[in-house]
Amino acid sequence: MTDQERERLVGLDIGTTKVTCVAAVENDFGGLEIIGVGNVPSLGMTRGQVTNMEAAKSSIAKAVEECRRMAGCRIEDVYVGIAGGHIASFNSHGIVAVRDKGERLVTEEDKRRAVEAAETLNIPQGRIIVQSIPQEYKVDDVEGILDPLNMVGVRLEVKVHVITSALNAYQNIVNCVTDADLNMKEMILESLASAEAVLTPQEMDVGAAVLDIGGGTSDVAIFSGGSVKYSGVVAQGGDNLTQDIALGLRTSLETSERFKVARGALRPDLLSAEGLVIPSLGGQQTEVDPAFFCAIMEKRMTDILECVNMEFVKSGLDQDVHEVVLTGGSSMLPGLVDLARHVLNRGVRLGEPRIDGGLSSMVNDPRFSTAIGLVMYGHRAERESRDPSQRGAGAGGQSLPGRMIRGFKRIFTGD
């Protein structure tokens, strides 16, 4: 079967600094094979929000076209990531009676109603539910159930992690995607997508956090017992680091970004022996003290990590986070893993996607974690929708296809 004949899965990561589009197909062994990648600079986005519709739409179209040419097929349906300071999340609880009065078996409909019961809170005006992720179920007096389907009982309860977005920010992203002639199948919180790509089931069960350091923000998601327990946003990212370097070295943002990517490190001993010469704003070549260059970056990354520690405390799960997995473009700075171990005072590793075959060598890199995670999420969601018995642990919990469509219907029609 050719790639054109197999069902395609496409992830679209619309970030502050880059837009990445990844296309994949299911291989003969049930895994994923990457067939196309598009990666272009992001325009019209600031800290996860659209600030210029035409520029953002153009960046999306370019990334999709680059991916399409490489994959050699049409791209229409996409799983889209969302992140930024406009995201807020909380845990909720829903209870329903099992409708089957005969055998009293829990059905998919019962599970859906329980989740919807957990959503019936006073969501502030101007916000929309993006995802509602079941954490665990309770059937009568039996707790800690990951999937109650076909279990016997009269009462079904569920604990749910609810992720919301500012409605205008959400709708702007939707409009950019649809104006680029794409169909958004689902929108997924980017830190959960990244977790799908870089966390192992064992880490999700024992207790771990993903720290996705993007351009505009650093996103945190905490997992325990096989599901997400908390998600939060630190309003600092790689762009702040770029700005600090530009101010400290009196150079342009473009030069700062280039040197950060090519030469950045958090300790002088990790820099190459070659001298560090940077053009100043006046155009003169200036030799930079390596210790000063590294100190600028170390200070900003320490600030970000200290804010992450505050997120851990805020979550109430500080003692449950045994390991932190770093991912995202800025996670690749030499020396960051060691600094994170010191500041966070727990195990830290660098997370990369786990994809084999196809074009995997192009994307098995922390910069592509979100895009790959979106594809993996879509693969799992579509497999589970075809066969609920295939449902398993994953960063996004159980798939809820069509949630955003139902959410908009409730907001705009009152249904």
Q: Using N-to-C axis directions, what is the helix angle for 290-315 and 336-344, rounded to 10°? A: 40
Contact between 381 and 401 (Cβ < 8 Å)? yes
Contact between 223 and 136 (Cβ < 8 Å)? no
Can you give the pLDDT at residue 414? 41
DSSP letter at 402 equals: T
CA–CA distances in Å: residue 116 to residues 101, 128, 134, 410: 21, 14, 11, 12
Can you give the pLDDT at residue 6? 62
Q: How many whole angstroms separate alpha carbon 80 and alpha carbon 188?
A: 6
Alpha helices in 147-289 (DSSP H): 167-179, 190-198, 201-206, 238-249, 253-263
Q: pLDDT tens for residues 297-316?
A: 999 999 999 999 999 999 99
- The stretches in the chain having pLDDT less than 70 are 1-6, 273, 388-415
Residue type, 171: Q
Residue type, 169: A
Round to the nearest angstrom and report the end-to-end CA distance of the chain: 43
Can you give the pLDDT at residue 178? 96
Q: How many whole angstroms separate alpha carbon 167 and alpha carbon 172?
A: 9
Residue with tokens 């700062």: 256
CA–CA distances in Å: residue 17 to residues 21, 73, 86, 218: 14, 26, 18, 13
DSSP letter at 341 equals: H
Residue type, 256: S
Other CB atoms within 10 A of residue 252 CB: 14
374: nearest Cα among 108, 134, 193, 117: 193
Burial 389-415 (b: 16+ CB within 10 A, else e): eebebbbbbbbbeebbebbeeeeeeee
Q: How many residues does the chain have?
A: 415
Contact between 370 and 20 (Cβ < 8 Å)? yes
Contacts of 380 (CB under 8 A, 6+ apart): 196, 392, 394, 396, 399
Contacts of 414 (CB under 8 A, 6+ apart): none
Residue with tokens 């994307």: 363
- β-strand 32-41 against 87-97: which pairing, if any? unpaired
3-state secondary structure 59-72: HHHHHHHHHHHHHC
238-297: which CATH architecture?
2-Layer Sandwich (3.30)
Can you give the pLDDT at residue 392? 53
Can you give the pLDDT at residue 223? 97
Domain boundaries, the chain: 87-165, 238-297
pTM of the model: 0.89
∠ CA 181-182-183, rounded to 5°: 130
Can you give the pLDDT at residue 272? 74
Out of 2.30.30.100, 1.10.10.10, 2.60.40.10, 3.30.1490.110, which CATH number does the structure's domain 87-165 have? 3.30.1490.110
Q: pLDDT tens for residues 224-274?
A: 999 999 999 999 999 999 999 999 999 999 999 999 998 899 999 998 767
